[in-house]
């Protein structure tokens, strides 16, 4: 009899999907914050921020931070941290320069070797964290010193460049235009439109599927508004980019990676297991999850992404310098925390980290245009990070 009452009670309760929606509200809040910050700088920079050239630069400048933030999100959700990513990306950039410029290795095998090297570095650090339970803070602090030192040694304290032109395209290239319409990249615009169409298709299909099974999603108005706003923003930005040189190659790489990581974290069993492990490692282990291997793999993944970021950065500067990547780890980690991840592990979203990275990026860009001194930029960025985390903690305690 009690079972029956629970069943009827259950039906009534489907509607109050409170916590599921609340998780989303945070993401909406973050998007809103980004939009407000962008509008603020658009205003204070007298419209420079949204100029197609500047927007393109914004993407190029932040791509490597965003790419590393994807890996860092997994590491932090798993309950760890990686302080070495800046040094590793600098080291890999140096390695790429030595291979391509000094040893004249073709850029494709060199790139692959660099990525493999990144994975190996991640594996070396992850091994100690995962299998010997050495705190990641310490292992990667050591890594940070070691790879900064190795980068210096590798480059002999000098800048090495320039890179082969094809390799530079990784950062400075744009997707080819098949229409050659002066002043506007039609291919890029089409890609944007197709993307938006796909996005709307999938979200409508997902909703229909839910409804078919008798589950209510978010309110219809909210659903429509959300999709329209996102579509509008994407189309608007694509339009701006297209009216300069089109979509940068890095943006494509970055978008594919973002989509991949969203999919892995939200829809795949591996992703679910990482969250479970970060939430309660002992319980995860007793549920049959191979926590050691999973931790190890998140570090390998981080290593590969740090390597990719190093390559992109080197390609962008067209030289490898011993100082490349200095302090990147701070921006990356800040992005992930602004994006709502918890330092305790188990909580955090890929889109959150990406938006967090953009918030940092737009602030850097906007303040530079405004001519704010670098010292004050640091202060303001630090305060924004603190405010974002305080906001999160406050909200959690209130709930």
Partner 1 sequence: METILEMRNITKTFPGVKALNNVNLDVRKGEIHALVGENGAGKSTLMKVLSGVYPHGSYEGEIFYNGQEQHFRDIGDSEKQGIIIIHQELALVPLLSIAENIFLGNEPAKFGVIDWHVAENRTRELLAKVGLKEDPLTLITNLGVGKQQLVEIAKALSKEVELLILDEPTASLNEKDSDALLALLLEFKAHGISSILISHKLNEVGKVADRITVLRDGATIETLDKDEISEDRIVTSMVGRQLADRFPQREPNIGEVVFEVKDWVVHHHIHSDRTVINGINLNVRQGEVVGIAGLMGAGRTEFAMSVFGKAYGRKISGEVFIKGQKADVSTIGKAIDNGIAYVTEDRKTFGLNLIDHIKHNATIVNLGGVSHNGVLDDMAELKVANEYRRKTNIRSSSIYQKTGNLSGGNQQKVVLSKWLFANPDLLILDEPTRGIDVGAKYEIYTIINQLVSEGKSVLMISSEMPELLGVCDRIYVMNQGRLVGEMPASEASQEKIMRAIIRAEGKAS
Cβ closer to partner 1: 20 or 387?
Answer: 20
Q: Verify binding: residue 376, partner 1, rule CB under 8 A.
A: no
Q: Do 82 and 399 meet the contact criterion of CB atoms below 8 Å apart?
A: no
Cβ closer to partner 1: 130 or 276?
Answer: 276
Contact map string, positions 212 to 231, toward partner 1, x by CB under 8 A: -x-x----------------
Q: Do 64 and 328 meet the contact criterion of CB atoms below 8 Å apart?
A: yes
Closest C-alpha among 352, 348, 335 to residue 274: 348
The footprint of partner 1 on residues 157-176 (CB under 8 A) is none
Distance CA 188, CA 207 (A): 29
Longest dimension (CA), the chain: 79
Write the CA distances from 133 to 17, 127, 147, 308, integer angstroms.
38, 9, 21, 27
Q: Verify binding: residue 285, partner 1, rule CB under 8 A.
A: yes
Distance CA 174, CA 52 (A): 14
Q: Verify binding: residue 132, partner 1, rule CB under 8 A.
A: no
Q: Do 328 and 68 meet the contact criterion of CB atoms below 8 Å apart?
A: yes
| Shortest Å distance, C-beta 25 to partner 1 | 12
If you count them, how many residues does the chain have? 399
Q: Verify binding: residue 202, partner 1, rule CB under 8 A.
A: no
Among the listed residues 106, 209, 343, 376, the single contact to partner 1 using CB under 8 A: 209
Distance CA 225, CA 292 (A): 43
Distance CA 291, CA 56 (A): 41
Q: Verify binding: residue 17, partner 1, rule CB under 8 A.
A: yes
Distance CA 314, CA 160 (A): 10
Angle of helix 107-132 relative to helix 291-317, nearest 10 degrees? 150
According to DSSP, the residues that pair with 320 across neighbouring strands are 160
Distance CA 123, CA 342 (A): 24
| Shortest Å distance, C-beta 265 to partner 1 | 11
Q: Verify binding: residue 104, partner 1, rule CB under 8 A.
A: no
Q: Verify binding: residue 207, partner 1, rule CB under 8 A.
A: no
Q: Verify binding: residue 346, partner 1, rule CB under 8 A.
A: yes
Among the listed residues 76, 114, 192, 273, the single contact to partner 1 using CB under 8 A: 273
Distance CA 76, CA 302 (A): 11
Q: Verify binding: residue 259, partner 1, rule CB under 8 A.
A: no
Q: Verify binding: residue 343, partner 1, rule CB under 8 A.
A: no
Candidates 115-123, 157-165, 205-213, 384-392; binding stretch for partner 1 (CB under 8 A): 205-213
Q: Verify binding: residue 337, partner 1, rule CB under 8 A.
A: no
Among the listed residues 49, 59, 79, 282, the single contact to partner 1 using CB under 8 A: 282
Quote the DSSP letter at residue 247. S
Q: Verify binding: residue 283, partner 1, rule CB under 8 A.
A: yes
Among the listed residues 182, 183, 288, 371, the single contact to partner 1 using CB under 8 A: 288
Number of residues that bind partner 1 (CB under 8 A): 42
The residues binding partner 1 (CB under 8 A) are 1-3, 6-7, 9-10, 13-14, 16-20, 22, 209-210, 213, 215, 267-270, 272-273, 275-276, 279-280, 282-290, 342, 346-347, 399
């Amino acid at each position: 009899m009690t079972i029956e009452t629970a069943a009827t009670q259950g039906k009534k309760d489907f509607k109050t999907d409170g916590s599921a929606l609340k998780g989303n509200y945070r993401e909406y809040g973050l998007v809103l914050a980004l939009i407000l910050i962008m509008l603020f700088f658009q205003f204070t920079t007298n419209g420079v921020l949204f100029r197609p050239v500047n927007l393109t630069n914004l993407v190029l400048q932040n791509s490597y931070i965003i790419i590393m933030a994807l890996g860092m999100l997994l590491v932090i959700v798993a309950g760890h941290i990686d302080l070495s990513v800046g040094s590793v990306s600098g080291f890999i950039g140096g390695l790429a320069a030595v291979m391509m410029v000094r040893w004249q290795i073709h850029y494709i095998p060199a790139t692959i070797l660099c990525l493999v090297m990144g994975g190996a570095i991640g594996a070396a650090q992850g091994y100690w964290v995962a299998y010997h339970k050495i705190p990641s803070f310490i292992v990667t602090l050591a890594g940070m010193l070691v790879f900064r030192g190795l980068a210096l040694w590798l480059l002999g304290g000098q800048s090495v460049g320039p890179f082969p032109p094809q390799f530079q395209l990784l950062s400075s290239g744009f997707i080819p235009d098949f229409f050659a319409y002066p002043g506007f990249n039609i291919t890029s615009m089409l890609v944007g439109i197709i993307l938006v169409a796909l996005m709307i298709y999938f979200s409508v299909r997902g909703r229909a599927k839910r409804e078919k099974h008798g589950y209510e999603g978010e309110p219809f108005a909210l659903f429509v508004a959300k999709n329209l706003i996102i579509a509008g923003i994407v189309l608007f930005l694509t339009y701006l980019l297209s009216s300069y040189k089109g979509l940068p190659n890095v943006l494509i790489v970055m978008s594919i990676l973002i989509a991949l990581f969203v999919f892995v974290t939200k829809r795949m069993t591996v992703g679910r297991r990482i969250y479970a492990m970060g939430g309660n490692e002992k319980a995860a282990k007793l549920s049959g999850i191979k926590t050691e291997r999973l931790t190890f793999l998140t570090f390998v993944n981080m290593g590969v992404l740090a390597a990719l970021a190093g390559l992109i950065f080197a390609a962008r500067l067209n030289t490898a310098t011993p100082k490349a990547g200095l302090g990147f780890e701070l921006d990356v980690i800040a992005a992930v925390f602004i994006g709502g991840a918890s330092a305790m592990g188990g909580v955090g979203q890929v889109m959150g980290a990406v938006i967090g990275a953009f918030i940092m990026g737009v602030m850097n860009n906007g303040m530079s245009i405004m001519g704010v001194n670098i010292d004050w930029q640091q202060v303001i960025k630090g305060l924004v990070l603190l405010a974002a985390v305080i906001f999160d903690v406050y909200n959690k305690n209130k709930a």
